[in-house]
Structure 1
């Protein structure tokens, strides 16, 4: 009887350790929806910290896409929106007189970015956060109406813009290009398959072919969207 109890305890210990592997690789398909449609495909490699390995930190690669109707793209650089490019920009109100708008009839752009991932696991449930940090964007050029706050000659003119090619995570409005981040919950239905849901916050950026008011050519749209996803872990 004692041997049986010991075997059960050992089995429980091993199974608990297996539930939180030291490394984990995920393939993920997510779809953001609402005011736009934004599918993404990603790969993540996570590393457990501590004996149990419940807390994980890792990296990944994500292919983002964004399809939407008419959107307003607002002056992007932090030096114009808040007058500073430091962390202070997070807590500074926008300078309304510096903000111009580029109205695009549609948004059709994609990005391929590296991501940073933080996650905590509780049995079959994961709670996590990820954010793009560097990459590039692609998409066609298009013309949109430029609404200038301080220039009568440029106000209501048509301007050509294309997705900003280089993406870089900095601080708030100091960011460059198109970046995606997610706050999520994930439930493992089996050892390999899981469903995931949460909120996605995206920066989407276009650059005009001409430098416009305030010597600026970058304009940004911010989108907060719910999403659902399916995760496959080939080596879990």
Structure 2
């Protein structure tokens, strides 16, 4: 009889404890963290050279390799704007030679150039350490825009001159190197998990076309400018980890009544 009473009260106690756990508490079951290898970057940059100033606004999706994800490559889109900071900016034709083998380039002086492009580009970066990075980007393909400008054309061989109009090439393309193309080489400093300061060099190609091939079968004129620039990069969806993109939030499953 005593054994029977002991078994009864023991079973009742276990039932009471389990009931309290089921109804009075919520048990959290944590799942392992997962890391996204993708990082989203929004960039803004301002540059200046001897004859041209430039600004760019872009977005890139960067994929990180390995556990540390220090090395990243990706694709992005970038809006480029370029304007003359002098009254006229020289644009040059392709080289041609005279009968003696001397090389010449015709010049197109464009008054107050202002043009832009929206391009798809290739991006890469490498984190040297927790704070510093190096990187580069280049435009690949896109389209250019800008108003027609008054221009003054000079034949470098004969010294003939004429006034004409210059227009922006609508097609931007590599590897033929056409249109308005922006290339960057930079060093970045991460002063915040989401913000980076960048300084570097831009190699900016801009191009104007004349309505006819006036001299030496040329109607394409280019300016290859080297600009120093300063910019910022914003990486949303980032956590406090220095070399890694955002950790996805831990998924917590709450056990409801009756699941235990």
TM-score normalised over the length of structure 2: 0.71
Q: 1:161 aligns with which of 152, 160, 166?
A: 166
> 1:173-201 deviations in whole A, cap 9, x for unaligned?
x4111100000011111111111110101
The runs of 5 or more residues in structure 2 that have no matched partner are 1-32, 239-260
Structure 1: segments with no counterpart, 5+ residues: 1-13, 83-94
123, 126, 147: which one aligns with 1:120: 126
Give the superposition deviation at 1:159.
Answer: 1.5
Which of 139, 142, 149 is the aligned partner of 1:135? Answer: 142
**Cα shift at 1:98:** 4.2
Per-residue CA distance 1:7-46 (angstroms, 9 max, x = gap): xxxxxxx9xx98xx62111111100023232111010111
Compute the displacement of 1:71 (Å): 1.1
Task: Give yes or no for contact 1:28–1:231 (8 Å, CA) kept in 2.
Answer: yes
2:113 touches 2:149 (CA, 8 Å); kept in 1?
no
Q: Which residue of 1 aligns with 2:78?
A: 62
Q: What secondary structure is seen at the aligned counterpart in 2 of 1:215?
A: coil
State the Cα distance separating 1:150 from its structure 2 match. 3.6
Runs of 4+ in 1 over 3 A off after TM superposition: 95-98
Tell me: CA distance 1:81–1:116, structure 2 relative to 1, closer, same or farther (3 Å). farther
* SS of equivalent residue, structure 1 residue 213: coil
Using the alignment, how far apart are the partners of 1:115 and 1:99 within structure 2?
A: 30
Looking at secondary structure, tell me which structure has more helix per residue.
1
Aligned length in residues:
199
Larger Rg: 2
Q: Distance in 2 between matches of 1:34 and 1:132?
A: 19
Query: In structure 1, what is the equivalent of residue 65 of structure 2?
Result: 49
Report the counterpart of residue 112 of structure 2 in structure 1.
106
Q: Which residue of 2 aligns with 1:73?
A: 91
TM-score (norm 1): 0.78
